[in-house]
């Protein structure tokens, strides 16, 4: 029972044609539909459900919601009871609230980020199919992202007032949705403040991450690539398309991921992420990073933090 994996992210964009061009040309996603409200739905070539990204027109960038897919429709009822018992209000949205999607359980995390759970989304298949498939399709564009991999949410953290939405979100995800903690950053006197966490429901290093900051927001949505070579190719694509790069190709100490960070035309940060890193399992010991080694945890090669990485987000 319960959450299987990330399903989609819904983000606001200020220039829809420019956004669609970015996600098609840079990441290699495909537009699968557009609704009467002007929202655009997209997927990667190795995804089988109809979409993993919703672009909504707005005058301000940022996250509308992030959604995770559960195994069975009845799981939504069980999880609604669990979330309500935890003290968080929920709403069950009827089938069709989002096109090609079944009913959804909607609620806000302690950080106020909106999360949705659903069990059904229209199946359309991958670009290579399921019978004698090739390892990749012939029509790959841009970086050729395989799938939406994870997202990182910025959460209010203020030690002076005692507000720590990172810890609150982490506890909620573990208690209510059975995510397990993979890595964490502990700071402050005695390393007592949980300043960042990486959690998963699959065997990858993270399906969701929380990092503390001055306000709640979206840090990035990440797309999976096969290898370090593919990350370097993605950087070439970004240079060719004049895409704004935030952090050039490097490696994380945390999750061991190979990465490049960049922005869509509205300022929403994207990541292309490669490397399994390690096999995450519920009984794997939690990896803890201390404050003095945080630079290497984020950017392993230089061991130095980049100011924009934590200061700029939507």
For 235-291, the pLDDT digits (tens) are: 999 999 999 999 999 999 899 989 999 999 999 999 999 987 889 999 999 999 999
Catalytic residue among 41, 223, 261, 313: 261
Q: Is 271 a catalytic residue?
A: yes
Structural domains of the chain, with CATH: 3-118 (3.10.180.10), 148-311 (3.10.180.10)
Please tell me the total number of residues recorded for the chain in this structure: 314
Task: Quickly list DSSP for 99-122.
Answer: TTB--EEEEE-TT--EEEEES-B-
When pLDDT is averaged across residues 158-181 and rounded to a whole number, the result is 96
Q: Please say if the pLDDT value at position 212 is more than 80.
A: yes
For 77-103, the pLDDT digits (tens) are: 999 999 999 999 999 999 999 999 999
pTM: 0.96
Catalytic residue among 65, 113, 146, 150: 150
At 132, the pLDDT band (50, 70, 90 cuts) reads very high
* CA–CA gap between residue 43 and residue 262 (Å, rounded): 19
> Taking all residues of the chain, what is their mean pLDDT, rounded to a whole number?
95
Q: Is 206 a catalytic residue?
A: yes
Looking at residue 304, its pLDDT comes to 86
* CA–CA gap between residue 285 and residue 180 (Å, rounded): 11
Integer angstrom CA distances of residue 22 from 123, 151, 241: 25, 18, 9
CB 242 within 8 A of CB 265: no
> What percentage of the chain has pLDDT greater than the value 70?
100
Q: Which of 314, 227, 301 is nearest to 10 (CA)?
A: 314
* CA–CA gap between residue 85 and residue 83 (Å, rounded): 5
């Amino acid at each position: 029972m319960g959450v299987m994996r990330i399903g989609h992210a819904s983000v606001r964009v200020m220039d829809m044609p420019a956004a669609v061009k970015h996600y098609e040309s840079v990441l290699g996603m495909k537009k699968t539909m557009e609704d009467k409200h002007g929202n655009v739905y997209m997927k990667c070539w190795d995804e089988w459900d109809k979409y993993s990204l919703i672009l909504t027109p707005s005058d301000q960038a940022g996250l509308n919601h992030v959604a995770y897919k559960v195994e069975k429709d009845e799981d939504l009822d069980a999880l609604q009871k669990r979330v309500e018992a935890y003290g968080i209000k929920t709403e069950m949205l009827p089938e069709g609230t989002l096109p090609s999607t079944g009913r959804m359980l909607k609620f806000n995390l302690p950080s106020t980020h909106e999360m949705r759970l659903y069990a059904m989304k229209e199946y359309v298949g991958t670009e290579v199919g399921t019978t004698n498939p090739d390892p990749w399709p012939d029509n790959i564009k841009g970086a050729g992202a395989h799938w939406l991999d994870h997202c990182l949410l910025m959460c209010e953290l203020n030690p002076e007032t005692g507000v720590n939405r990172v810890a609150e979100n982490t506890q909620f995800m573990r208690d209510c949705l059975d995510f397990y903690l993979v890595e964490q950053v502990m700071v402050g006197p005695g390393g007592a403040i949980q300043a960042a966490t990486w959690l998963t429901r699959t065997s990858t290093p993270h399906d969701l991450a929380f990092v503390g900051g001055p306000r709640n927001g979206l840090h990035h949505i990440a797309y999976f690539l096969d290898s370090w070579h593919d990350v370097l190719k993605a950087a070439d694509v970004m240079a060719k398309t004049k895409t704004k790069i935030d952090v050039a190709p490097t490696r994380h100490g945390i999750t061991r991921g190979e990465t490049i960070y960049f922005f869509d035309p509205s300022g929403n940060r994207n990541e292309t992420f490669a490397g399994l890193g390690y096999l995450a399992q519920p009984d794997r010991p939690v990896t803890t990073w201390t404050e003095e080694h945080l630079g290497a945890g984020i950017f392993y090669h230089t061991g130095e933090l980049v100011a924009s990485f934590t200061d700029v987000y939507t």
